[in-house]
Amino acid sequence: MSLKNLSALSKTHKFLLGKLKDKRTFQIYKKFEDYLKINENLIVAVSGGPDSLALSFLTKIYSIKKSINVKYFIVDHQLRKNSKLEANFVKKKLKDFSINLNILTWYGKKPTKNLQSLARNKRYSLLTRQAKKYKIKNILLGHHLDDLFENFFIRILRGSGLNGLVSLDKKIQNNKVNLIRPLLDFDKKDLIYIANYIFGSYVKDPSNENDKFKRVKIRNFLKQLEKEGLDRNKFILTINNLKYANETIKFYTKKNLEENVSFLEKKKSVILNHDFFCHPNEVVFRSITEIIKFIGKKYYPVRGSKILRIIKLVEEKTSFKVTLGRCLIKRIDQSIIVTKE
């Protein structure tokens, strides 16, 4: 890099750091820094909305202070006519702040059903591929407190269990890459403030106003609840209490897997002994789910109703042989054998 470019970069960094003189911006950044505590290179997922722009700014400041490298990516899903223009608009906006945004594209025919979920999965797949390419372990996502609330109600409508209700974790793994949500305790209003204060504007996704999507209906429902007196702090307390209960079940599930599972054939098959099933239903349910994910090499768990069918077959104490999640499950005497299909 030339001396001229270094000088320009230094001026930009000073300008960005100077933004922390604003009290509200400093408080938001300090909260972000206190949570993240990562001294490794990062990837930031950008959409152009206020949450991801705020995340871009906060991570840029963090990278300056910690002397780490950060790569920024936006995914053009090609779902709207102007999606490419929007991606380039965000790229240009971030470039003014010495943030180099790379555009990834989802090519090919798009699904007509479950579009938002499949688009999210594709986005994670593209981002994880870049993480592998650059040997980066952590990808930052822009989910915030409002997303946590929306996810909770969506899972209620789906009839999810406890694990599903609190499934929007701050950190999960996808193909040995960490997906981290450092803004999950942040109110959206704070992120909009950062986006407007730093960048002046942000991209508004029209799908966020389209109530044919369940998430948008839930968002509008929550707004109405707040008008009726919904206490966000008490809501957070409820979710946290459910998370503590969920961690307890996870502990006993892990204990069950460690004590009552025997691996065979280089971990391609397992034997579940009699004591494996001598636990509360939820522990057995999750234990079987984990076994099928591990043996079947599936990232996403199989449907709960199918797991319940397996448990019922075990309780009937008769011989059976079924396939589920790329696994063959059968009874031999008092043991259950799970092998790769």
- Per-domain residue ranges for the chain? 3-230, 253-340
User: For residues 308 and 161, what is the distance between their CA atoms, to the nearest angstrom?
Assistant: 13
Phi, then psi, of 272 in degrees rounded to 5: -100, 115
pLDDT of amino acid 237: 93
User: For residues 156 and 144, what is the distance between their CA atoms, to the nearest angstrom?
Assistant: 19
Residue spans of beta strands (DSSP E) within the chain: 42-46, 70-76, 101-105, 138-140, 171-174, 177-180, 261-264, 269-272, 321-324, 327-332, 335-340
User: For residues 188 and 177, what is the distance between their CA atoms, to the nearest angstrom?
Assistant: 26
284: left (phi > 0), else alpha (psi -120 to 50), else beta? alpha
Report the Cα–Cα distance between both ends of the chain, in Å, rounded. 55
Residue 207 CB: number of other CB atoms within 10 A? Answer: 15
Handedness of CA 312, 315, 317, 323 (dihedral sign): positive
Residue type, 204: K
From residue 331, how far is each of 63, 308, 316, 341 by CA, in Å?
55, 16, 11, 15
pLDDT of amino acid 9: 62
User: For residues 189 and 169, what is the distance between their CA atoms, to the nearest angstrom?
Assistant: 21
pLDDT string in tens for the chain (341-residue length): 454 554 556 788 888 999 999 999 999 999 999 999 999 999 999 998 999 999 999 999 999 999 999 999 999 887 777 888 889 999 999 998 999 999 998 887 777 677 777 888 889 999 999 999 999 999 999 999 999 999 999 899 888 889 889 888 899 888 889 999 999 999 999 999 999 999 998 887 766 777 777 888 888 888 888 888 888 889 899 999 999 999 999 999 999 999 999 988 777 899 999 899 999 999 999 999 999 988 988 766 777 888 999 999 998 888 899 999 889 999 988 789 999 88
Phi, then psi, of 283 in degrees rounded to 5: -65, -45
The answer to whether the beta carbons of residues 170 and 181 sit under 8 Å apart is yes
Q: Which helix (H) or strand (E) holds 193?
A: helix 188-194
Domain 253-340: give its CATH architecture. Answer: 2-Layer Sandwich (3.30)
From residue 338, how far is each of 152, 154, 333 by CA, in Å?
33, 32, 14
Q: pTM here?
A: 0.81
User: For residues 74 and 103, what is the distance between their CA atoms, to the nearest angstrom?
Assistant: 5
Written as six digits, the tokens of 221 are 């429902």
Angle between helices 232-260 and 281-296 (to 10 degrees): 70
Residue 244 CB: number of other CB atoms within 10 A? Answer: 9
pLDDT of amino acid 336: 92
Which residues contact residue 54 at a Cβ distance below 8 angstroms, ignoring those fewer than 6 apart?
28, 142, 183, 190, 191, 192, 194, 195, 198
Handedness of CA 5, 10, 13, 15 (dihedral sign): negative
Domains 3-230 and 253-340 share a fold: no
User: For residues 135 and 156, what is the distance between their CA atoms, to the nearest angstrom?
Assistant: 37
User: For residues 297 and 221, what is the distance between their CA atoms, to the nearest angstrom?
Assistant: 38
Residue 186 CB: number of other CB atoms within 10 A? Answer: 24
Fold of 3-230: Rossmann fold (3.40.50)
User: For residues 146 and 188, what is the distance between their CA atoms, to the nearest angstrom?
Assistant: 6
